[in-house]
Structure 1
Amino acid sequence: MSSLDAHGHEWRAGLRFPWPTPPANGEVQAVAEGVLWLRMPLPFGLDHINLYLLKHAQGWVAVDTGLNNRQTRDAWERVFEQVLGGLPLLAVICTHFHSDHVGVLGWLTERFRCPVFMSASEYQAMHQLGANNDPSSSWAFRQHYRRAGLSTEQTEALFPLLNSAHFRPQVPTSFHRLSEGSELNIGGRRWQVRIGRGHSPEHACLYCAEDQLLIAGDQVLPRITSSVCVQVTEPDANPLREWLDSIEGLRGVPDDVLVLPAHERPFFNLHLRLDQLRDHHLVHLQQLLDACTAPRSAVQLMAVLFPKVNGQFDELMALGETLAHLNYLIAQGQLGREEIDGVFRYGRTPVGAVARPVLGQL
């Protein structure tokens, strides 16, 4: 349920949205002086990404880029002509390495010969993503999804999706490093870098204390939750622990900040949203514990958390999230796992068991 206040702001689930509707794809909405919200299309169920343009001297700084496809490049061409007023991009800041955020990064930076700013871990992960690595040749890929409970046929069916050009960003050859506490002076504003983890290795949020603006990327979203997934690259990772810790760290940002997320609409009431996100994952953790009265595979448990999955991409993300929650519970000492006929089975551990990290199966 939602309602409008006297200022025309929409209230939904305790969050306040200053703009009831987003701009159309390829168009912009001013959210502060010299800060434009730019909407770009995505060919998924989540059909858009929010980019931000920051005015600086005789040009602009872009935050994130959109996906690597013709639709994104065509939209950027219209932005160059109709929004930027003939002024160049002076730099591109990338919050993190995911393909919808860095897809045309190389194309933009080559066109304007401008620098890239991002964290070191994200830059390295982006280059790994952009490399021509065919998962169909990887025994580790097949083993990972077999252990999760997918059949050989189901795993093979993932290869065309993962080899799509959508997931192969155009990468630059150099970058300027962002770290926790780094400051960027853009258009007379000081933007402080706040690093989050769990959704990606070293996700950079940008916080302007003077104007109470937080460019949050995917670290804080207003309605959906950030994907927190275990992937084949690190099958025993505990990204949910990192993500929950990062969410708590963001409470150092004032509650009345205007949050500028990478998806959906800008909103107020940051701390309430942090509570909601934490509670969402606590519910998922309890659901898994309740479901593990007998040993079950990750695929079976995925159906508990995500009973409605539409398409292969959503299934891949849902399985990664399920594994993240399972690894968290193992690290807490609440679940154990055993490999049976090549598939990991998860079950409750005895009361009083000692928490331990997840270790690779030997």
Structure 2
Amino acid sequence: MAELDHNGHELKAGLRFPWVAPPAAGETLEVAPGVLWLRMPLPFGLDHINLYLLRHDDGWVAVDSGLATEQSRAVWEQVLGGVLEGRPLLALVCTHFHYDHSGLLGWLAERFRCPVYMTHAEYQAIHVAPPQDDEPHWAFHQYYRQAGLSEEDSVAFLPLIRQAHFRPTPPAAFRRLREGSVLPIGGRRWQVVVGRGHSPEHACLYSAEDGLLISGDQVLPRITPTVGVSVDEPDGDPLRDWLESLDRLGQLPDEVLVLPAHERPFHGLHTRLTQLREHHRRHLDLALERCAQPCTAAELMAELFPRLRSRFDELMAIAETLAHCNYLIGEGLLVRETEAGVHRYRRVRSGETTGAPSSPF
């Protein structure tokens, strides 16, 4: 039996969950006056995404849109004709470009002729499509080759990223969100708090008056958001960006109700931020220990993620492993050396002066 506090809220892992169960797909649950929690299905191990519907005048503002699947469209039809009582969507807010969040943006925006609000970097990123040609660009294979994987491995990833639901219909135009932007919706002032690392310029929405934080993927209550190096920026340092973003989110009050994109809303923001930092600190320590002897990212991945169940898990894990490597290089704790087109990482030896950064070539 779950532990409950005096308000009947479930207590788990230092967090407090006001709702024991989520709404069923196509149904909603009011988490604050005029704020509805809508759960949409996903065809993955992580089988859902949470969207939020904000009442405004004679219509609604939707935060995120779901994946571009027929199942998602069917749920939207059910919601539009049922819970929303036929009232239109007046605007769409997209937290970030990832396909479960942006997949139906263009479809909904065209249907209601309504504006889409998102940050500039996320609008740009939504137009960077996964490789669709029979033979991907050379940089695609090079990324995985340098990580210590074979060309056969990289080819095996292609069917995963070429699936139709990874090709959202982008909106034709957008209204730009910036750090500190304020969206007046339904009598509330939603302030934009930008996070980076999980995606280029992820927009969270914070209502100080009501103590609400729509966190998207930036803060999740149980799983850790993917923070990975992408094929199009192989020397990026997203983990540093993400950890710095957690520090900024830590300036918000601990008692806010966090409305995440996955799993259930919760209280305990500061506790969760500490847990997320500690998770990555453990991975960084483990990476340093493994790199006492030079190893490839693929070899290190097996240490950091020993229970991968599928090619999709491997796709995510190699990107996360590279993020930890690049962070440690930036800290001056790892050196990257290249031999025959493959990168190997080793820990900086005692007394060693690294001097110039690791060669990018």
Give TM-score scaled by structure 1 length. 0.97
Q: Which runs of 5+ in 1 are unaligned?
A: none
Change (3 A) 1:333 1:12: same
How far 1:149 moved relative to its partner?
1.3
Instruction: Name 1:35's counterpart in structure 2.
Output: 35
Note if 1:214 corresponds to 2:205: no
Determine the structure 1 residue equivalent to 2:96: 96
Alignment-derived partner of residue 199 in structure 1? 198
User: CA separation in 1, counterparts of 2:294 and 2:88?
Assistant: 58
Are 1:152 and 2:162 matched, yes or no? no
**Could you tell me whether the CA contact under 8 Å between 1:18 and 1:266 is conserved in 2?**
yes
Contact 2:58 2:87 in 1 (8 A): yes
Q: Which residue does the alignment assign to 1:174?
A: 173
Distance in 1, Cα, partners of 2:38 & 2:357: 42
Distance across 1 between alignment mates of 2:240 and 2:74? 39
> How do residues 1-362 of structure 1 correspond to structure 2 at under 5 angstroms?
2-129=2-129, 133-134=132-133, 136-351=135-350, 353-354=353-354, 360-361=360-361
Partner amino acid for 1:330?
I
* Cα 1:355/1:79, change in 2 over 3 Å: farther
Q: Partner of 2:232: helix, strand, or coil?
A: coil
Structure 2 gaps of 5+ residues are none
What amino acid sits opposite 2:227 in the alignment?
A: V
| Cα shift at 1:292 | 1.0
Supply the distance in 2 between the matched residues of 1:356 and 1:317 (Cα, whole angstroms). Answer: 30
Q: Distance in 2 between matches of 1:45 and 1:312?
A: 13
Q: Cα deviation per residue 1:123-162 (whole Å; 9 max; x = unaligned)? A: 0001113x77548321000010011111121111111111
Q: How far has the Cα of 1:279 moved from its partner?
A: 0.7
Distance 1:189-1:299 versus aligned 2 partners, 3 A rule: same
1:357, CA displacement in angstroms?
Answer: 5.4
Q: Distance in 2 between matches of 1:228 and 1:43?
A: 21
Q: Name the SS of the counterpart of 1:169 in structure 2.
A: coil
Separation in structure 2 between the aligned mates of residue 216 and residue 207 of structure 1, nearest angstrom? 8
Query: Could you report, residue by residue, the CA deviation over 1:310-358 in whole angstroms, capped at 9, with x for unpaired residues?
Result: 2111111111000000000011111111122221111111235458656
Cα gap change, 1:194 to 1:230, in 2 (>3 Å): same
Does structure 2 conserve the Cα–Cα contact (< 8 Å) formed by 1:334 and 1:355? no
Native 8 Å contact 1:95 1:204 kept in 2: yes
Distance 1:260 1:135, change over 3 A: farther
Partner-residue secondary structure (3-state), 2:189: strand
- The letter for the 2-side match of 1:243 is W
CA distance in 1, matches of 2:350, 2:248: 31
SS of match in other structure, 1:157: helix
CA distance in 1, matches of 2:290, 2:158: 30
* 1:237–1:324 CA contact under 8 A, matched in 2: yes
Q: Aligned equivalents of 1:82 and 1:122: distance in 2? A: 31
Report the Cα offset of residue 5 of structure 1: 2.1
The superposition leaves residues 205-241 of structure 1 with CA deviations (integer Å, 9 ceiling, x where unpaired) of 0000000000000000000011100011000000000
- Supply the AA of the counterpart residue of 2:73: R
Is the Cα–Cα contact under 8 Å of residues 327 and 358 in structure 1 kept in the other structure?
Answer: no
Corresponding residue SS for 1:228: coil
> TM-score if structure 2 supplies the norm length?
0.97
In 2: Cα distance, 1:355 partner to 1:56 partner: 57
C-alpha displacement at 1:89, in angstroms? 0.3
Q: Equivalents in 2 of 1:2, 1:225: separation in Å?
A: 22
1:193, 1:207 within 8 Å by CA — same for their partners in 2? yes
Q: Secondary structure at the match of 2:126?
A: helix
CA distance in 2, matches of 1:355, 1:206: 42
1:181-227 deviation digits (Å, cap 9, x = unpaired): 00000000000000000000000000000000000000000000111
Deviation of the 1:7 alpha carbon: 2.2
- Write the letter of the residue equivalent to 2:46: L
Give secondary structure in 1 for the equivalent of 2:298.
helix
Distance 1:209 1:135 in 2: 50
Distance 1:240 1:279, change over 3 A: same
Q: Name the CA distance, whole Å, in 2 between partners of 1:355 and 1:197.
A: 28
Give the Cα–Cα distance (whole angstroms) in 2 for the partners of residues 346 and 80 of structure 1.
52
